[in-house]
Amino acid sequence: MKNIDYSLYLVTDRNQPAAGTFEKVVEEALKGGVTLVQLREKEGDTGLLYERAVKLKKITDAFHVPLIIDDRIDIMLASGADGVHVGQSDMPAAMARKLIGPDKILGVSAGTLEEAVQAEKDGADYLGVGAMFPTATKKDADITSPSELRRIMDTVHIPVVTIGGMNKNTIPLFKGYGLSGFAVVSAVMAADEPEKAAAELKEMIDQVLGR
């Protein structure tokens, strides 16, 4: 399961589906070429989140794409999702790895070299580095400089995706960094045509990554 394509990593935002129901938007995005999906829900009760995770798992399974749950290890385990992503203020990555076991995917957010190195030591499979740019979906996010990203890329040995303001205008700026992919939110979730938006981003990302 660990042979993962991180190139077009969709992070969901329930407040942004512009073109229909939440699940439908994700399905359209998968048709367009999304390679990994993270269910990120900051509100809502556990029962509702579990239901959403189960529904999304069916959709991602149909496309043979892994489903990651943001923060909630209980929901990941209950829904049979493929992994969990933890931030710096969530459960420590080392503890998360103990709870989920060796086979599930563990992603960790990192904004600095120190955080990135620690996450790798703690058993992260990949890093989400950012926010690279200010973003409406996470207004309190600290910005990671391009030079700090380069230091991280020069030091860690696990895949890195950037997050925070990733869209068709910003993704080309990261050509040559050696990234494994880009995490997008509104560039797909708020698009009028999610499938088309995802397909265009995927084509661009493949060029940026030199595929």
Among 57, 104, 138, 202, the active-site one is 138
Contacts of residue 129, defined as CB under 8 A and 6 or more positions apart, other chains included, come to 109, 110, 111, 116, 144, 149, 152, 160, 161, 162, 163
- Answer yes or no: are the C-beta atoms of 156 and 116 closer than 8 Å: yes
Output the furthest CA–CA distance in the chain (Å, rounded): 43
Q: Is 72 an annotated catalytic residue?
A: no
Q: Is 40 an annotated catalytic residue?
A: yes
Among 40, 72, 97, 202, the active-site one is 40
Residue 124, phi-psi category: left (phi > 0), alpha (psi -120 to 50), beta (remainder): beta
- Answer yes or no: are the C-beta atoms of 132 and 164 closer than 8 Å: yes
d(CA 126, CA 135): 22
What token pair was written down for 159? 């895949």
Among 72, 109, 186, 202, the active-site one is 109
Q: Is 138 an annotated catalytic residue?
A: yes
Which are the catalytic amino acids?
40, 109, 138
